Structure 1
Amino acid sequence: MIDFGLRLTLRGGREAAVRLVVTAAAVALGVGLLLVTLAGINGVNTQNARYAWLNSGVPEAMAAGAEASPDPLWGTLSADVHDGARITRVDVAATGPRSPVPPGIPRLPGPGQYYASPAFGALLRSAPAAELGDRYPGSQIGTIGAQALPAPDSLIIIVGHSADELSRAPGAARIAGIATKTPGECAQCQVGINANGMTLVLSVTSAALLFPVLIFIGTATRLAAARREQRFAAMRLVGATPRQVSVVSAVESTVAALAGTAVGFGLFFLLRVPLAAVPFTGERFYPSDLSLGPVEVLLVAIGVPLAAAVAARIALRRVRISPLGVSRRVTPRAPRAYRLIPLVAGIGELTYFVGRRPDTTNGQTLAYLTGILLMMAGLIIAGPWLTMVGARAMARRSNRAATLIAARRLSDDPKAGFRAISGLVLALFVTSTAIGVMTTFVAERGVSSDSTVARTTLVADFSQGWADVPGVPKASIASIPDSALVRLRSIEGVRSVTEVHTNPLGTTFSLGGPRPVVAGLVSCRQFAGLSGIGRCADGAEVASIPPSFVSGLRVNPSWSTATWPAAAISAERLQSLPVQEIVVGTDGSKSTIEQVRTALTVAFPGQEPPVTAAEGHASSDTERLFDAYRQLVNVVILVSLFIAGCSLAVSVVASLNDRKRPFSLLRLTGTHLGMMRRIVALESAAPLLVNAVVAMAAGFLAAQLFLESQLDYSLRAPGAEYYITVFAGLAVSLGVIVSTLPLLNRITGPETARNE
């Protein structure tokens, strides 16, 4: 029977060949996406492991049982910025011949020496010294190897010092060994990727993608389903056993699954290099990072064909019951309202965790992933019932023949009507949920980085932590040397230099946080040179301003017209107060900004790098991770809509092929081709529109429950991008339906009406 099944599969004519190709393509797409997800999780963990050595200043980041070096290493870890790119700077100093050596370099650099990553070395050679190189005096003695670089374009520099010099630097730590743990393994570790969080996102992403793919596979396997059932039933009537029929069907499905699995593996390895360039963790991957383990390869290579064979056996359950069951075309039992239970259960599960968010990452993964998957499954299960309700409502409110016929068929068999558009329903749910979360996140945490002041104003923050008085920053700079001020003002493109002093008066501002913050004090003479952040009150010499440049670097658009109150302190006394930040207004050119940054870095080594408000927003770890999530969301939306469109096209064509004889009989009785086209269009468009509304509402509800539980935010209305995406998706779907209608003319000729 296996040979017979292979002959039917490979030599069964054009219909069998089309079914084989479409099913194999659907399986290949599913396998490729599954492999990309598995490789992506492995890539995140591999990349994260190369961050570990940067946590060497944290004692608990050492591997258990690691032997401490007798000659501890002095080291500091700091950040720098160039043209918006994040630079990691590691300053080291050996205390003896056996001081630990970071990975990627053969020995520690001495005073006046440094190692640079390949990308950073190229940047140092290409950028003018006044814009970057002057921050790192000395000579490059080598290149940091790949084993110490999280990504091919990582910007990392290891700078050498003497032990006496570095031991007095702010934040210097004695390091007895190189760390091997990352944030997921070490509570105190700060450098690296939240691998658990990324695994959660990738898991949700894979589920969101695999659901439409599974629907596509199921739709593809149903091509010419009615004809195949009749042929298998005929085999039963001439003596074939149920087992033999099952073997024949399983051979067909297994061949398609094997071919699709092989193509899926080929697609993965073909696309691995371009996929590695997608920075969904904030940085690119090495292609070797996106690897697959032998267990994963075996599970996919064996599991997918096995699942396809099981699916084929389930699909032919009517033939196994009785060969005559296929010919007994009776109206299926109407779906009941209990199909709403999984959808309601998913909503209830997410609602339960509002105010009860699990403390652990695994607990959050289980909570949110379970709720989202329940809602996705609930939409598929409830879809036929919703389709039936919509069809009955359509029949009651219309007296046109095409509408009544379409509504009657949808009401009699809502499962078939919903099956065609189920992939699009899931795509709309995923789109609504993702855009709802992202829109709210941007509204709550976004910075107006498009404003002029955000792009052109640099801020050097000299505060180190917080004093004992709540909201009062400690200043580490007693005063700014005149030479530094002269150097800043001499740079072409610098328009103003404003010193923000600490405030002994206790004046506070509320910035929406849990407590008010103490204002900074500025000279109105200096402050007048800054534009876009308000002005001093009339007649004031010293004004109080919010220290928002320091805490979060958030620029409020209302500041452009604000009038800041006068402070009860003289300009002379102001100059004797410590400085907590310098605000430099520029013309916004890259050269000017980088020269200012270099001048401040050289004048005040060991301080946080000066950044613009736009850079401070974009370079934070939270925002980098958010950008990565946003890229994944865009991938999910585009791929889901594409897969759903393919599924819809295949489903409509399959439905037409299965009903070409009834349509031919309708034409023979005088029914116009235009009416039949309207019937087919309504059968697909009506359930699509009904279920689309439910899917979008469910998506927004899921987003609201997640945001309220995880972040304590309320859903914000999406912008025009969402409506354009939905409109485009529905328009393309309707276009797919319309594009299949010319097939009616070819398959409804008089010769099709004959009995086989």
Structure 2
Amino acid sequence: MIRFGLRLAVAGGREALTRLLVIAAAVAIGSGLLLTTLAGVNAVDAQLTRYASIYPHALTTGAADKLWWSTRDDYFHGEQIIRIDVAATGSTAPVPAGVPTTPGPGEYYVSPALRDLFAAQPADQLANRYPGRDLGTVGPSGLTSPDTLLAIVGGTPDSVGKLPNARQVDDLGDTPALPETTVDLILGVVAGGLLFPVLIFIGTATRLSAARREQRFAAMRLVGATPRQISLVAAVEAGLAAVVGTAVGFGLFYAFRDPLAGIPFTGMPFFPGDMSLTGGDISLVALGVPAGAALAAQISLRRVRISPLGVTRRVTPRPPRAYRLIPMALGVAVLVFAISFRPATSDGQAAVFLPGLLLIMAGLVFAGPWLTMVGARVMARYANRPATLIAARRLADNPKAGFRAISGIMLALFVTSVAVGVITTIVDERGPAPRGSIDAGTVTTVFDEKTTAAPDTLLAELRAISGVSSATAIREAPDINTGSEGGVIACADLPNAYGRCAEGASVIEVPLGLSRWEESASPATVWRAAPLTLDELRRLPVVAVVVGTDGSTAAIERTRTLLEIAYPTFWVGPNVPGDFESDFADTLRGWEQLANVIIIASLALGGCSLAVSVIGGLTERRRPFSLLRLSGAPVRVLRRVVALESAVPMLAVAAVAIGMGLLAAHLFLRAQMGYTLVAPPPRFAVIVVLGLTACLGVIASTMPLLERVTGPETARSE
């Protein structure tokens, strides 16, 4: 029977060969996207693992030699630079990832992206911050991304041990860092959301011409074939196409892996090696896709196994019942429950939110035939044209087949709505500052430890930089404004743009950062006098230096470099308003990019599923359509029938999917963060409309096939 099944698949005429090639092509696209999704999840894990090596914990394994380690942040024109200071206490101390040896005092390694910046910028704006001998480049194993700006700087144990956040480590480890719970959940929903349309696409492809094969296998049953033999033949036929398609899918994945790795799906590109597949991933796709195709073929023949006469008579299946809404309602109930009873741990939250969202997705697919049937009955009630009535009756008679064509679109819109709703709300609540905010041009250095270094020479050098308008040292205020909330300065050092001193004052109280001055200051502001003399002021330790510039890149970066050389023990480098916001904005832009990827990939998969379903439906019903043409129905009426059968349920379930997606996003946000859903931006509606229009275009593109396959010769008795 296996040889017989292979013969039917490859030697059954042009129709069988075309069906085999179409199924193989569809499975190739689906399996390629499935492999890309799995590799993308592995790439994120690889990035998190290397992120953990940049911020290691202090470990105690008993090793004699340890490595002093301090990770600090610097900035260059709004881009974060990670600076790692290290010092080995002995020859057996661990070596940082990505470099051959631990750099010694006066030595450093830099990442390729930072080296490119060194070459492109004047030394006094960036490279001078890292004096000493350049030992080479940090390798990929020490970087989270090809675009990472990283410097590993050597020092002595005494000097590194005094730096902020310094620690001793004796094992850098390889445990992946745990992302924020929200990010973890979003990535999980994204992966699951992309897998569902891929699996539906593959299942739709393997069911191509299922009705005609049902009739052929039913005839074989009538001449003596057993249900087991029929199942074996069907499995061989579907499995052959799936095996060929899966092999091509692997080829497509490896052919396009490098270009895909360079796309910043999550805000930063991957290394090509990160887009890897584990043995489990390869086995899952290589064995699971053909097995799933064979299973789909057998499920499609369940009526043949029960009664071949039922197929030849084309018995109308039982209509779906309203109980199909239960899984979707349960998924909503889980998210509602999580609002009041959110687990405290990340694992507990994932155990609640992910099943709830996936249950809604599965519930939408399960409830789809019932929704299609209800919509078809409504359409039939108000039908006033033959095409509308024929389409409505056909959908009502077999709503499962009608929904199958647009199930991928439904899931795509649901996943898109959830992702866009969540990400848009987070962006709105946390409010990333635009990159233009760094044009404020005020460079602030706040010291984590007090310094008594006299800044007069430094302030003179800062004021000599072209574009610098002011340079002010803020000193610790004794017995007033205790803590790090404020300080004192000489009245003569107050820039004119920020007000004036109280009458008779020589020393005034001010906030630490000039950016905070801007929140409350204006040329008319009067600052309160401090009970200090100028001599007493000069004996106080400096807690911050604030430099006003014209906002030009050269002035800001030269100021940063000079401050870092003068005060090398900073934790966070000299910064301007917008640096921190710009860094977080990059993360949020990555999330928005991820949402765009979900939209495009999901709608593309849904469109492919729709195309395969519409073509399959035309080939399966070419004889009934031919009889309608012979009875006088114009081709334009048949075109309306095909269009209405796909377009009406697609638009109906699109509204349901978007509504359920935004509801799920709102419940997730309320439960996880306490946020209220913010309406998606207009571009979301534009993308959805364009996606649905493209799907309608897919339907329209199949219309020329209708006239070719419904000629009079097709109406002969088969």
Question: How many angstroms apart in 1 are the aligned matches of 2:370 and 2:514?
Answer: 54
CA contact (8 A) 1:449 1:613 kept: no
Q: Tell me, yes or no, if structure 1 residue 351 matches structure 2 residue 351.
A: no
> 1:16: how far off?
1.9
Question: How many angstroms apart in 2 are the aligned matches of 1:605 and 1:593?
Answer: 17
CA contact (8 A) 1:236 1:245 kept: yes
Question: How many angstroms apart in 1 are the aligned matches of 2:458 and 2:411?
Answer: 60
Residue of structure 1 in register with 2:150 after alignment: 156
Question: How many angstroms apart in 1 are the aligned matches of 2:435 and 2:429?
Answer: 16
Report the secondary structure of 1:602's partner residue.
helix
Residue of structure 2 in register with 1:462 after alignment: 446
> 1:208: how far off?
0.9
Residue of structure 2 in register with 1:7 after alignment: 7
Question: How many angstroms apart in 2 are the aligned matches of 1:480 and 1:624?
Answer: 38
The amino acid of 1:59's aligned partner reads A
Residue of structure 2 in register with 1:68 after alignment: 63
> 1:437: how far off?
0.7
Which residues in structure 2 correspond to 1:129-278 (within 5 Å)? Answer: 129-173=123-167, 175=168, 177-180=170-173, 182=175, 192=177, 194=179, 200-278=185-263
Residue of structure 1 in register with 2:278 after alignment: 293
Residue of structure 2 in register with 1:32 after alignment: 32
Q: Tell me, yes or no, if structure 1 residue 113 matches structure 2 residue 112.
A: no
Question: How many angstroms apart in 2 are the aligned matches of 1:478 and 1:169?
Answer: 17
Question: How many angstroms apart in 1 are the aligned matches of 2:364 and 2:509?
Answer: 58
Moved more, 559-568 or 104-113: 559-568
The amino acid of 1:255's aligned partner reads L
Which residues in structure 2 correspond to 1:480-559 (within 5 Å)? Answer: 481-497=455-471, 536=499, 549=515
Report the secondary structure of 2:633's partner residue.
coil
- C-alpha distance 406-496 of structure 1, shift in aligned 2 (>3 A): farther
Q: So what's the TM-score if we normalise by structure 1?
A: 0.85
User: What CA deviation, in whole Å up to 9, does each residue of 1:577-599 have, x standing for no partner?
Assistant: 76654444444433232212111
Residue of structure 2 in register with 1:43 after alignment: 43
Question: How many angstroms apart in 1 are the aligned matches of 2:487 and 2:614?
Answer: 67
CA contact (8 A) 1:9 1:252 kept: yes
Q: So what's the TM-score if we normalise by structure 2?
A: 0.89
The amino acid of 2:155's aligned partner reads H
- C-alpha distance 169-196 of structure 1, shift in aligned 2 (>3 A): closer
Residue of structure 2 in register with 1:470 after alignment: none
Which residues in structure 2 correspond to 1:85-104 (within 5 Å)? Answer: 85-95=79-89, 99-104=93-98
Moved more, 595-604 or 518-527: 518-527
CA contact (8 A) 1:279 1:285 kept: yes
Residue of structure 2 in register with 1:512 after alignment: none
User: What CA deviation, in whole Å up to 9, does each residue of 1:125-174 have, x standing for no partner?
Assistant: 4432101121112222344444434444443323233444444444444x
> 1:317: how far off?
0.9
- C-alpha distance 579-354 of structure 1, shift in aligned 2 (>3 A): farther
The amino acid of 1:596's aligned partner reads T
Question: How many angstroms apart in 1 are the aligned matches of 2:645 and 2:461?
Answer: 74
Q: Tell me, yes or no, if structure 1 residue 639 matches structure 2 residue 576.
A: no
Q: Tell me, yes or no, if structure 1 residue 596 matches structure 2 residue 559.
A: yes
Q: Tell me, yes or no, if structure 1 residue 327 matches structure 2 residue 325.
A: no
- C-alpha distance 290-504 of structure 1, shift in aligned 2 (>3 A): same
Q: Tell me, yes or no, if structure 1 residue 618 matches structure 2 residue 578.
A: no
Question: How many angstroms apart in 2 are the aligned matches of 1:613 and 1:215?
Answer: 48
Moved more, 395-404 or 660-669: 395-404
- C-alpha distance 487-658 of structure 1, shift in aligned 2 (>3 A): same
Report the secondary structure of 1:265's partner residue.
helix
Report the secondary structure of 2:131's partner residue.
coil
Question: How many angstroms apart in 2 are the aligned matches of 1:216 and 1:529?
Answer: 67
Question: How many angstroms apart in 2 are the aligned matches of 1:23 and 1:525?
Answer: 80
User: What CA deviation, in whole Å up to 9, does each residue of 1:591-649 have, x standing for no partner?
Assistant: 232212111211221111123333312324xx555444333322221111011111112
The amino acid of 2:678's aligned partner reads R
The amino acid of 1:179's aligned partner reads L
> 1:710: how far off?
1.2
CA contact (8 A) 2:406 2:649 kept: yes
Report the secondary structure of 1:324's partner residue.
helix
Residue of structure 1 in register with 2:695 after alignment: 733
Question: How many angstroms apart in 2 are the aligned matches of 1:685 and 1:456?
Answer: 53
- C-alpha distance 562-305 of structure 1, shift in aligned 2 (>3 A): farther
Residue of structure 2 in register with 1:513 after alignment: none
> 1:254: how far off?
0.5
Moved more, 401-410 or 312-321: 401-410
Residue of structure 2 in register with 1:606 after alignment: 569
User: What CA deviation, in whole Å up to 9, does each residue of 1:47-71 have, x standing for no partner?
Assistant: 4444444445x323x5xxx3322x5
> 1:699: how far off?
0.5
- C-alpha distance 587-53 of structure 1, shift in aligned 2 (>3 A): same
Moved more, 536-545 or 34-43: 536-545
Alignment equivalent of 1:753, drawn from 697, 715, 718? 715
> 1:664: how far off?
2.0
> 1:227: how far off?
1.7
Residue of structure 2 in register with 1:19 after alignment: 19
CA contact (8 A) 1:461 1:582 kept: yes
> 1:21: how far off?
2.2
Residue of structure 2 in register with 1:471 after alignment: none
Which residues in structure 2 correspond to 1:311-460 (within 5 Å)? Answer: 311-451=296-436, 453-460=437-444
Question: How many angstroms apart in 2 are the aligned matches of 1:489 and 1:225?
Answer: 80
Question: How many angstroms apart in 1 are the aligned matches of 2:414 and 2:478?
Answer: 54
- C-alpha distance 716-297 of structure 1, shift in aligned 2 (>3 A): same
Question: How many angstroms apart in 2 are the aligned matches of 1:369 and 1:261?
Answer: 28
Report the secondary structure of 1:611's partner residue.
coil
Instruction: Give percent identity, aligned residues only.
Output: 51
The amino acid of 2:135's aligned partner reads I
Report the secondary structure of 1:460's partner residue.
strand
Residue of structure 2 in register with 1:187 after alignment: none
Alignment equivalent of 2:623, drawn from 657, 661, 675? 661
The amino acid of 1:739's aligned partner reads S
Residue of structure 1 in register with 2:662 after alignment: 700
The amino acid of 2:569's aligned partner reads G
Report the secondary structure of 1:346's partner residue.
helix
> 1:269: how far off?
1.6
The amino acid of 1:178's aligned partner reads D
Question: How many angstroms apart in 2 are the aligned matches of 1:128 and 1:597?
Answer: 13
Residue of structure 2 in register with 1:720 after alignment: 682
- C-alpha distance 645-296 of structure 1, shift in aligned 2 (>3 A): closer
The amino acid of 1:708's aligned partner reads R
Question: How many angstroms apart in 1 are the aligned matches of 2:283 and 2:237?
Answer: 22
Alpha carbon RMSD of aligned pairs, Å? 3.4
Moved more, 286-295 or 571-580: 571-580
Higher helix share: 2
CA contact (8 A) 1:544 1:564 kept: no
Question: How many angstroms apart in 2 are the aligned matches of 1:389 and 1:548?
Answer: 64
The amino acid of 1:569's aligned partner reads A
Moved more, 420-429 or 85-94: 85-94
Q: Tell me, yes or no, if structure 1 residue 80 matches structure 2 residue 80.
A: no
The amino acid of 2:650's aligned partner reads L
User: What CA deviation, in whole Å up to 9, does each residue of 1:282-326 have, x standing for no partner?
Assistant: 544332333333343233322221222122111101111122111
- C-alpha distance 196-33 of structure 1, shift in aligned 2 (>3 A): farther
The amino acid of 1:367's aligned partner reads V
The amino acid of 2:58's aligned partner reads P
